[in-house]
């Protein structure tokens, strides 16, 4: 199963639109996970329309969208715990890790997906893989547009960083 991991699109406040390569990648996936900061209802609706299935959480810029702060979904034998990670840079990893630990499922490989910093992260912490796909539009302070594509099957997960 192909899963797109994305975050921090910030359309319209920091980016005019989703890049075409991002739209194409969304169309090719079976599931999309967005870790918050759509930044507008039209941006949320566009991602929802492009995605075959969507799991999304609210970022600090998404209060009016009514999205949850944490979401979980099991795909291909892997549990994804999604949170934006809102707060200061100090303590970011610990905040995200706490949410992942609180929502992990015993005996199921668990990955944490977060956003907020606009910085790409792919690291193992306390037995969990933590992923931050950066900003799919390259919104400041990101230096480029990035997202991740995960291939999940039977509890295994490989992750590819895409950038343009």
What span, in angstroms and rounded, lies between the C-alpha atoms of 31 and 74? Answer: 11
- Is the bond leading into 48 cis (omega within 30 degrees of zero)? no
Segments making up each domain of the chain, as ranges: 2-163
Average pLDDT, the chain: 97
DSSP letter assigned to residue 144:
S
Each residue of 92-127: pLDDT tens digit?
Answer: 999 999 999 999 999 999 999 999 999 999 999 999
pLDDT (mean) for 7-22: 96
pLDDT (mean) for 135-150: 97
Residue 51, pLDDT above cutoff 90 = yes
Confidence band for 136, pLDDT divided at 50, 70 and 90:
very high
pLDDT at 101: 97
- Four-way CATH pick for 2-163: 3.40.50.300, 3.30.360.10, 3.60.21.10, 3.80.10.10: 3.60.21.10
pTM of the model: 0.97
Confidence band for 48, pLDDT divided at 50, 70 and 90:
very high
Tokens 């099991």 identify what position?
74
pLDDT at 164: 82
């Amino acid at each position: 199963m192909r899963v797109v991991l994305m975050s921090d699109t910030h359309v319209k406040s920091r980016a005019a639109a989703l890049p075409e390569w991002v739209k194409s990648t969304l169309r090719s996936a079976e599931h999309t996970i967005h870790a918050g900061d759509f930044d507008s209802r039209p941006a949320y609706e566009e991602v929802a329309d492009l995605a075959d299935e969507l799991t999304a959480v609210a970022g600090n810029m998404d209060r009016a969208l009514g999205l949850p702060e944490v979401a979980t979904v099991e795909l291909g034998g892997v549990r994804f715990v999604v949170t934006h990670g809102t707060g200061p840079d100090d303590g970011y990893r610990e905040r995200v890790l706490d949410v992942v630990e609180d929502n992990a499922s015993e005996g199921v490989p668990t990955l944490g997906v977060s956003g907020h910093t606009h910085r790409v992260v792919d690291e193992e912490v306390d037995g969990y893989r933590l992923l931050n796909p950066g900003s799919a539009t390259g919104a400041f302070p990101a230096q480029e547009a990035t997202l991740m594509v995960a291939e999940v099957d039977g509890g295994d997960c490989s992750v590819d960083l895409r950038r343009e």
